[in-house]
Structure 1
Amino acid sequence: MLDPEKLMERAKTSKRHLALLNFGLARMIPFNKPHGFKIVSLGDDEVKVKIPYRRINFNHIRGIHACALATASEYATGLVLLSKLGQSDFRIIMQKMEMNYHYQGKMDVYVTYSVKDEWLNEHVRNPLTKEDAVIIDCEVHSHDAAGNQLTTGHIFWQVKSWEKVKTKA
């Protein structure tokens, strides 16, 4: 079996590995599979996730459902954090989310999240040398294919070293 961290690294530069990553994540996270979320780009500091404009993602007025937007926001931030921090070193759990909705999505939507190493050092790595866990606020945005901003999300993640986790995974 391919190491997920290696696959994520390879997916940054290979369309084939990006397709494999999307395929694998759809099976590893079955809740997201029906939505058809796809990572369209993955970089060292950023991910862009597509929410397709299709019936399963619609609300009652044929717009992209608020819950699909929230779920994709959680997905995007979690992917970047796991990619940057490493899933073997840190455990991340979503603590809460806050979503602000600005515009109705009536076409494909793209959720983008990025974070720099300096920010992670200041808000995660350095504090974890003194504390068992930290809560971080990841601000994430979504835009439709025409460039209209649909949402601003604040996804709060608890991050801790696996050494500090008291329950088994």
Structure 2
Amino acid sequence: MKQLNSFINKAKKSSFDRWILNRILWRAIPFNSPHKFEITSITEDEVIIKMPYIRKNMNHIKGLHACGLATLCEYACGLQLMNVLGTTDYRIIMKELHMDYHFQGKTDVNVNFRFDTKDAESINSELMFNDAVFKNFELPVYDLQNNLVCTATVNWQIKKWDKVKTKV
């Protein structure tokens, strides 16, 4: 996990390193690999990820598959949370995912998720008084014609690693 932060930081400065990060994540998360999600931009404040309009992402009526869109949103949100919070101090687990579908995706789509150090400070403040924090984040997904394809609401549990209990 420590290496992930290093790869993310390099990808912020170089398109070649972003290309490498995409390939590493395709390999490290084999479930997402067929989707070919592509991080097109990653900064301290936001991540933009593209879901290509390819056969493996289509449903039976040649639109983008609902589950692929949900996975895209979870992926973008989780990646940016790890980008800002880091992987060594916090454990994040998705608690709930709610999707609203508005328009059939028939082109590539993009999700843009903003989460910055100010948001992280708010979580740190809450973790001073609680073992875990639950946060909802909203992620709109747009197609190339700027149509709102869907909106995800993702609820994450965020804990410091020293508060995680793995044994009964």
Give the TM-score range, shorter chain.
over 0.9
Alignment of 1:1-169 (within 5 A): 3-122=3-122, 124-167=123-166
Q: Secondary structure at the match of 1:126?
A: helix
Aligned residues: 166
Amino acid at match of 1:136: K
Q: In percent, how many aligned pairs have the same letter? A: 44
User: Which amino acid is the alignment partner of residue 22 of structure 2?
Assistant: N
Residues in 1 aligned to 2:120 and 2:98: alpha-carbon distance in whole angstroms: 21
Deviation at 1:45, TM superposition (A): 0.9
Alignment TM-score, normalising by the size of structure 2: 0.95
Helix, strand or coil at the partner of 1:18: helix
How far, CA to CA, are the matches of 1:22 and 1:119 in structure 2? 25
Partner-residue secondary structure (3-state), 2:99: strand
Deviations 1:141-169 (A, max 9, x none): 1100111111111111100000001118x
Q: CA deviation at 1:26?
A: 0.5
Give the residue type in structure 2 aligned to 1:125. Answer: N
TM-score (norm 1): 0.95
Give the secondary-structure state (helix, strand or coil) at the position aligned to 2:80.
Answer: helix
1:18-67 CA-to-partner distances (Å, cap 9, x unmatched) read 01100110011000001111111111111111111011111111000111
Gaps of 5+ in 2: none
Unaligned runs of 5+ residues in structure 1 are none
Task: Flag as ranges the 4+ runs of structure 1 deviating above 6 A.
Answer: none
Quote the Cα distance in structure 2 between the aligned partners of 1:107 and 1:127: 40
